[in-house]
Amino acid sequence: MRGFTLIGRARASTRGRGDASCEDGAVIELQGLSKAYANSPAPVVRRLSFTVADGEFLVLVGESGSGKTTTLNMINRLVEPSEGVIRVDGEDVLALDAVTLRRRMGYVFQGAGLFPHMTVAENIAVTPRLLGWPRAQSEARVDELLELVRLAPGAYRGRLPRELSGGQQQRVALARALAARPKIMLMDEPFGALDPLIRDDLAEDYRQIHERLKLTTIFVTHDMTEAMLLGDRIAVMRDGTLVQIGTPNELLGAPADDFVKALFDTPRKRARRLAQVLQAAP
Amino acid sequence: MNSFDEAWSNLPDFLSWHVLLSVSALALGLLISLPLAVLATRNRVLRGGALTFASLIQTIPSLALLALFYPVLLALSHFTQARLGFGFRALGFLPALLALTLYSMLPVLRNTITALAGIDPAIKMAARGVGMTRSQALVLVELPLAAPIIMAGIRTAAVWVIGTATLATPIGQTSLGNYIFTGLQTENYVFVLFGVVSAAGLAILVDRLLALSEDGLARRSRGRVAASLAGLALVIGASLYPMFAPAERSVVIGTKSFDEQYILGNVIADRLHAAGIATTRRDGLGSTVIFRALAAGDLDVYVDYSGTIWANEMKRADSPGRAAVLAEMAGWMKQTYGIRMVGGLGFENAYAFVMPRAKADALHIATLADLAAYAPRLRIGGDFEIFSRPEWRAVQAAYGLKFGVQRQYQANLMYNALTGGDVDVISAFSSDGRIAQYDLKVLGDPKGALPPYDAILLVSPAHANDDALLTALKPLVGAIDLKTMQQANLTVDRPDDKQSPAQAARWLESKIGR
């Protein structure tokens, strides 16, 4: 049960933005990670290596099919790696029981995936229930989390997912992922299907939660603006390999190749055009 | 007692067996189908195999499916008897249960597989993501979500099983089908309707109650599910209540599926009741099934006909005369099975080939030998058995009969077919009152191809030395002559002023006068 040291362990050190490249005290380490499927010729992920520091917010970007989601899913072993090593706090994740591992990591993906037959409270309490928490403790935790994701517990506890808007559903999904006090959050385009306003709200809220709870987050997106606004560091993937990893400023200032340059030009171009449009307006 | 009252008085017995059979078959079916469906969603080969098997079962006519289990179980019982020293009853509840269980599987399998396969992949992903094991995901997420569709499958299965359970009657399992089969044989449409309405009513009631469950599962309303379960418990409890009334060990009386048998069954029951012996009935059994059932002890007493056993069981083709046949048969049955022949009732119910008198006279046909020349241009009608019995082969061989058209009828309708001109000759029974009523000519058998068919009282090996039973039955030996039996049969068979077999039995008892 040594793995349980991960849960709820208070961490003193949190790094500020742009100061996360230090390898010391790393939480998640990927070494030579590959994934190949029997029925496809080329591997989806090829010999991927990077390290995510304690308390860091890492954003994985790349075009669709670049291997971002597969990489994320290998960390909580929804996908089993073909080769390579994943370590969390120095512990070999592939040697652990996959189910136990998943209960220790929060996981949110596009489309929420709430259980339609369970109320909001039951959805949030599902992992605590699996872990055998006492009822009173998980009830209290549900209220605490609803407050955290800014939904009034009295109004939302007893509702069914279909009675919620898309944004509210995604807030509940976030609360569910945080329920068992994970230190690591894996997020796969969690806000991708939402309206832009709600999306920005939620992204901002989540960044604060990440700070407050001292989480380590790996966040997949293909929206470069979102990536630059949220990430301490950004990892760019293409064709299953890591092209470049660094702070937004590093990547803007010294892009590794034309692909990375083009990727980071997009938000800049859009910002310039936006400024022009706003100036032209009376 | 009129037909409705008689039907009503049988309801507790018939309904309780019907419900017990249906509920057991459905429960056993679910016990097999649900786990199989869950395994099938994870294994493509198993899924294909299970669905094909269940579909195949549906293509077998349900009556045949029920009937097929009897020989299979009988063989199995012989095997276990020989190898392991115990046998079991191959007739009645067990074959009906197994056939209905198979019958219930398809809708449950199909709906469960479809429902589990149709669950949103995002939800299954979420179940894994929050750290559920495979079985936790199944129990906490997939099954609850699939529940309304699974329940719809259970509803279909329940209605099928309740409807098909009426077909358990011919293999010796009492059910609401007893009304239908007895009613059809005796042209008592009050009985038929009573059986149809009660079976349909039960099916609709159960369907509505399960619909409430389905609705409750879909809306996640515990109240509805609870109300539905309470309703079902009430229906099942009330139906089964008569079974728990104090029961005594009773003698099982069997009958074949025609009027004379029903009348004689009632006569035997009345005599045994008068002697203080409790009885139960297994009505409407097939000719071969009934003899095997007696030998196996599934039945205790019934009336058979000497020629039937002579030809079908002893495989004899010769015909040494009434007395010789009886004597030889009694010895053979005792030695082979331990069956006790109490004696002949005093009349014969032989196969008799008959034609409308006018037609027979016009063609100058008096015997089966005369018939041979005309046969290719004539149409013959028979009951469901005759054309596959050795007696028919013997008659065909003796007279070189080859008919142009050969048709099979339910025994009663055979006479209508003959008088209506659908066929020219039928294989009737000599004790049938309708031969005289319709003025039919019985064709002679100069070559003696048909054996004698004395009505004989047979008792199972277990009761072969049961003095109380034998004493109660003895007065029936030699007590019924052909004319009296024909009259009794006619009161049940005639279209007007029809009597029930129970009424005819009472009339017959008054004639026996003991």
Looking at beta carbons, which residues of chain A come within 8 Å of B126? 109, 112-115, 173
Q: For residues B333 and B476, state if they share a domain.
A: yes
Looking at beta carbons, which residues of chain B come within 8 Å of A173? 126
How far apart are the C-alpha atoms of A113 and A110, rounded to whole Å?
A: 8
Looking at beta carbons, which residues of chain B come within 8 Å of A100? 131
Q: Which of A100, A115, A177 is nearest residue B141 as measured by Cβ atoms?
A: A115
Q: What is the pLDDT of residues B231-264, one digit of tens each?
A: 999 988 888 887 776 555 688 899 988 889 999 9
How many domains are there within chain B?
3
Chain CA centroid to CA B356, Å: 32
Does A77 reach chain B within 8 Å, measured CB to CB?
no
Pick the last residue of a domain from B227, B244, B261. Answer: B244
Looking at beta carbons, which residues of chain B come within 8 Å of A114? 126
Q: Which of A103, A115, A116 is nearest residue B131 as measured by Cβ atoms?
A: A103
CATH label of the domain that carries residue B62:
1.10.3720.10
Q: For residues B114 and B223, state if they share a domain.
A: yes
Determine the pLDDT at residue A12. Answer: 34
Chain CA centroid to CA B94, Å: 13
Does B365 reach chain A within 8 Å, measured CB to CB?
no
Contact yes or no for B131 and A115 at CB 8 A: no
CATH label of the domain that carries residue B472:
3.40.190.10
pLDDT tens for the 282 residues of chain A, in order: 333 333 333 333 333 444 443 333 448 999 999 999 888 778 899 999 999 999 999 999 988 888 999 999 999 999 999 999 999 988 898 888 999 999 989 999 888 789 999 999 999 999 999 999 999 999 999 999 999 999 999 999 999 999 999 899 999 999 999 999 999 999 999 988 788 888 888 999 999 999 999 999 999 998 888 898 899 999 999 999 999 999 998 988 888 889 889 888 888 888 888 888 888 766
Domain membership flag for residue B365: yes
In chain B, positions 210-239, which contact chain A (CB-CB < 8 Å)?
220
Contact yes or no for A113 and B126 at CB 8 A: yes
Q: For residues B301 and B330, state if they share a domain.
A: yes
Domain membership flag for residue B317: yes
Our separate counts of H helices and E strands in chain B read 22, 10
Contact yes or no for B129 and A117 at CB 8 A: no
Q: For residues B233 and B260, state if they share a domain.
A: no
Q: For residues B279 and B371, state if they share a domain.
A: no
Determine the pLDDT at residue B449. Answer: 85
Closest CA relative to residue A238, chosen from A222, A249, A227, A225 = A222
Q: For residues B265 and B383, state if they share a domain.
A: no
Contact yes or no for B125 and A78 at CB 8 A: yes
Does B122 reach chain A within 8 Å, measured CB to CB?
yes
Q: For residues B174 and B75, state if they share a domain.
A: yes
Pick the last residue of a domain from B392, B413, B442. Answer: B442
Query: Which 3 state secondary structure label does DSSP give B440?
Result: strand
Q: For residues B318 and B388, state if they share a domain.
A: no
Looking at beta carbons, which residues of chain B come within 8 Å of A126? 130, 132, 140
Determine the pLDDT at residue A13. Answer: 37
Considering only alpha carbons, which residue of chain B is nearest residue A123?
B130
Q: How far is CA B308 from CA B230, B311, B425, B430, in A?
A: 51, 5, 21, 14
Q: For residues B231 and B125, state if they share a domain.
A: yes
| Residue B242 amino acid letter | P
Residue B49, domain extent: 3-244
Q: Is the pTM for the entire model greater than 0.95?
A: no
Q: What is the ipTM of this complex?
A: 0.82
| Residue A179 amino acid letter | A
Q: For residues B189 and B56, state if they share a domain.
A: yes
HEC readout, chain A: CHHHHHCCCCCCCCCCCCCCCCCCCEEEEEEEEEECCCCCCCCCEEEEEEEEECCCEEEEECCCCCCHHHHHHHHCCCCCCCEEEEEECCEEHHHCCHHHHHHCEEEEECCCCCCCCCCHHHHHCHHHHHCCCCHHHHHHHHHHHHHHCCCCHHHHCCCCHHHCCHHHHHHHHHHHHHCCCCCEEEEECCCCCCCHHHHHHHHHHHHHHHHHCCCEEEEECCCHHHHHHHCCEEEEEECCEEEEEECHHHHHHCCCCHHHHHHHHHHHHHHHHHHHHHHHCC
Domain membership flag for residue B447: no
Q: Are B16 and B243 in contact (CB under 8 A)?
A: yes
Q: Which of A102, A114, A126 is nearest residue B128 as measured by Cβ atoms?
A: A102
Pick the last residue of a domain from B442, B467, B493. Answer: B442
Q: For residues B78 and B191, state if they share a domain.
A: yes
Q: For residues B199 and B103, state if they share a domain.
A: yes
pLDDT tens for the 514 residues of chain B, in order: 467 877 887 888 889 999 999 999 999 999 999 999 999 988 888 888 888 988 888 888 888 888 888 888 888 888 887 887 777 777 778 889 999 999 899 899 999 999 998 999 989 999 999 999 999 999 999 999 999 999 999 999 999 999 999 999 888 788 999 899 888 877 778 889 999 999 999 999 999 999 999 888 888 788 899 999 999 999 888 888 877 765 556 888 999 888 899 999 999 999 999 988 888 888 878 777 788 889 888 789 999 999 889 988 898 888 888 889 999 999 999 999 999 999 999 999 988 899 999 999 999 999 999 988 898 999 999 888 888 888 888 888 899 888 888 888 877 788 888 988 889 999 998 888 888 888 899 998 888 888 889 999 999 998 999 999 999 999 999 999 998 999 998 888 877 777 888 889 999 999 886 5
